[in-house]
Amino acid sequence: MKKLILFAAGLFAALSVFAQEPVQDWACTNRYAADNAKVTVRPKAVFMGDSITEQWWRDAAFFTDNNYQARGISGQTTAHMLVRFRSDVINLHPKYVAIMAGTNDIAGNNGLISPDKIYENLVSMCELARANKIKVLLCSITPVNRYGWSKLMTEDPSGIIMDLNARLEAYAARTRGVTYVNYFDALKSPTNGIRAEYSPDGVHLTMEAYKIIEGIIQSYIK
């Protein structure tokens, strides 16, 4: 009995210590907390995305000169972005949100997920924006033939990407306040991956590619 009591006491102590451990901010909701606090003028647009959006900041003038805010986080999936959508988009009260997401879902960054669930997460972000009177620029997933880092998606994902883009385009066409922005066709190669001069690794973008999509997105922001 004494041993049982000691075991129970030890287990309780261990659980108490575990309970006091800080909980990981899975969706990185605090990543832009300091930057968000500094936003005093309503942004014309917030760009929500993953590493492609995060690395876009290399062309800082594109954002600062146009009163845009970039809220990309490397490696993130649509599930991560959906969790932080309020803090990084809604609470900034932009006129537009440009959403470019889904490639990391397809790569399996957060485990296996069906195209239907990726689509639903993107639609959920659109619905949140529309409910808060934010115009949505729903951007296509950019072309990829291979995710070099992925152990889950080892086949050519271009078919999945094109199917999802088609669904996003159709959703935008029937949904008030949502506009589809097609980057895919401007960047694609004959194999429906990204053209070599537009990417250093077959996924991420060169500055030349950013300049191309800047021209595309600017035509939708008034």
User: Does 196 have pLDDT greater than 80?
Assistant: yes
Q: Which DSSP helix (H) or strand (E) runs through 211?
A: helix 207-218
The per-residue pLDDT for range 89-148, each reduced to its tens digit, is 999 999 999 999 999 999 999 999 999 999 999 999 999 999 999 999 999 999 999 999
With pLDDT > 70 as the criterion, what percentage of the chain qualifies? 90
Q: Is 69:43 a contact under the CB 8 Å cutoff?
A: yes
Tokens of 48: 């929500």
Question: Which tokens is 90 given?
Answer: 């809604």
CATH class of 26-218: alpha beta
| Tokens linked to 121 | 């997460």
pLDDT for 16 equals: 43
Write down the pLDDT at residue 7. 40
Pure H helices in 70-157: 78-88, 103-107, 115-131
pLDDT in tens, 144-172: 999 999 999 999 999 999 999 999 999 99
User: What is the band of 22 on the pLDDT scale with cuts at 50, 70, 90?
Assistant: low
Average pLDDT, the chain: 92
Quote the pTM value.
0.89
Contact predicate 153/108, CB 8 Å: yes
What are the sequence ranges of the domains in the chain? Answer: 26-218
Average pLDDT score over residue span 79-93:
98
The span from the CA of 184 to the CA of 162, in Å, is 8
Q: What does each C-alpha distance from 48 to 22, 53, 94, 125, 144 come to in angstroms?
A: 27, 7, 12, 10, 20
Q: Is the pLDDT of residue 3 over 60?
A: no
